Structure formats: C-alpha cells, structure tokens
A and B are shown apart, each in its own frame.
Chain A
C-alpha cells in the first residue's frame, strides 16, 4: 500500500507537468495567438511549485524537520518553491484583478526574491550533509570554494550590472537589481561547489538523489538567468519559453524532493542488507 502512495506522488508530479506542457504547446504552436491564454497559463503553472513544496514539507517531517541537515535542506527548497508560487500569484493578481502592468518592485518580488535566501538555506544544509566540510579541510579545495563563486559573481556582475545607472531615489529598486543576479549566483555556485567538493566523498544511496537536487538548482538558475537576460533586452513576454523553463525547473525540483522521501531510502537500504 505504502509503495502505491509513494509512487503516486511521482505520478501526480508527472501528470501535472505533462498537462501543463501540453497546454503550453497548444498555446504556442496550435491555437491562434491569444494573450489571455498566455496570461492564464502564466498564472496557473505555479501549481507545479506548490505541489513540490507540499511534497517537500510532507517528506521533511520524516527527517525530523529542522532537527536534521536533510530536513532543513528539504524545508529550504520547499519554502523556495512556495515563494516562487507566491510571486506567480501576486503577479497574476495585478494582471487579472487590478488590470494593470505589474509594477517593479511589487509584492510579487517578496516571493521571487524571497526564494533566493530559501534556496541558499537549503543548499548550504545539503552541502553539509554531503560532507563538503570534510573536503574543505584540504587547502586546494578551500581555494576552489573561494575562486569558483567569485568568478561566477564577477561574471554575473559584468553581464547584468556593469553599465548600471543608479537612481538613488529608488533604493529598493537598486537593492533588487543587484540582489537578483548576485543572489541567484550565490545559490547556484554553492550547488556547483557541493557537486565538485562532494564528488569523491559522497556515495551510498543518497549520492544520486543529492546530485538531482543540485541539478534542479541549476535548472532553476537557467530559468532565472534567462529571465534577467530577456528583461534586460526588453524581449521577455508572458507565457513564452522563459515561463516554460520555470515550469520545468519546478518539476525537476519536485521530483528531486520526492526522490528524497525516506520510505524509498529505507526500502533501498533493506535491499542492500
């Protein structure tokens, strides 16, 4: 029975993702161009993030919630997904109920920007559980841990902020303009560092599962990066490829969290003994 319930969570994630994918394909390639459909899709696909977050909270309890590193990591990613969904809903509220162009910054940025510290919280604890503190005892690894994030931060700065024009009357806008690209680099660089530094030390049942979570963070970063580039070039449009990239990232993270559920870990352990 429990096996059916376990597989049900994966099946449901696949069903939600497939349905939304089919809808997006219809809007993009079959149905005549309709901005209402685009906006409706953009307002709806966050349900994937919501589902992933709920799964995460449910599975985190078996890890003792915040009483263990794995529990903290799963809660961090779940809160990140929830924050993304909040951002989606807030943006939709402006479009549908207020009928106005979404202002920047707006309440939706609480969700979008808020997801960054949650992802950082999650990946830091995942890194610790993966044993990177043992790898960091080597000086070469310590150097790697400084150089790689620094390079990524500098790259992000030169891509997005090099020619930034400061308007000191808008301190919140300035904070977000810097906070988005730099904050997103922080979570993805910790994810990359975790992969690089735990590659030799991390094994067992959790190895692949943890690497899938790190991959999910990279997919999320690709969506965030594409958004920033398209917004900078003023070519971003609702319901287009970037929204689909976000849907994909929520799906991958949902699957990654479902894969960490303790019942599967337990059954894998019993298979090995």
Chain B
C-alpha cells in the first residue's frame, strides 16, 4: 500500500498549474498535475494518501461535479478549491460537500501551503480512522447475534439488570455475554468499548 502523500492538482489554466506545481514541489511535496478532471479520475489510486487541489470552473467536468463523483465512489480525499473570482454560491456548495478550504486567486504561497498542510493532516487522520473502523467492524462481525444485542445495550449506558429485563434473560447470563464482548472486541474498559461503538457507528454521537 502506498504511504507517500501526493497532492493532486487539477486546473485547466496551464501556466497556473505550473506555478502551483513549482510552489509545492520546491517545498518538498509531491505533485501530480492534471489539466482536466477526467484525467485525474482515470489516474487516481484511492489507497494513495494525499489531497486534491482543484479549480472550480473548468471545461467539461467542473470542480463541484468532481467532488460529487468522488463522493459517489466513496473516495474521501480532502479537497481544496481554487477559483478565479469569489462565487459565494459555489463556495458554499463546495464547503458543504466537505471541502477543506476555498482559495481565491490570486492567493499567497503561504495560504496555499497552510491549506495543503491542513488537508494532508486531515487525510492522515481520516485514513487512520478508516483503518481502525475496519478492524472494529471485523471484530464486531465475530460477535454472536446475542452478543451484538448486549454490546449495543452496554454502550447505551444501561445497567446489567436493565439489559437482562429487556432481553428477558438472567443478569448472570448478561454478565457472561458481556465478558465475551469485551474479550472479542479487545476492549479493556467500557469507555473503550463506547469509543469503538462511536467509531463504527453502533452508537450515534449526540452533541
């Protein structure tokens, strides 16, 4: 699996793309350049860590369409949008679609590097979380249906007696299942179990 972070830059304005490439490359980052969105999509390896910088207005597939396509393919690549002039409506749409940042030309190198750094950091966290999530899902799948029921009730902060009442089994049996859940999930405490439940979506985070 590739580990090096790569910045994908998509812009139909070639001189600008070259400048973008130079700015990032001479600070030690790796850049892949594309003059259109479809070239980028053909070339993309979803397992390659990194981020995307794309122009908003492009002939053919534009920036927002590219963002949508990536979402449909469930590719989570932190995205920075750039545009020739402020377009409030599109900026809002881009940010709602999960854009990390929105840069308006002309922008300083510092603004670009800050955004890229944020995007790459986000990608690192995203990928780490995705890995964790996959492992937890795997462990979850090894639970028996009864254990899964107990799991979801335990992480809902219910005492054993209440869980026993709801499942119409004895509290002793609940304790038995509970011990199995902790073992199979490799959780050292209920708090850790709850964190796992959040990560794999068994318990919704309520703020």
Chain A complexes with chain B: no
Q: Which residues of B does A touch, CB under 8 Å?
A: none
Q: Which residues of A does B touch, CB under 8 Å?
A: none
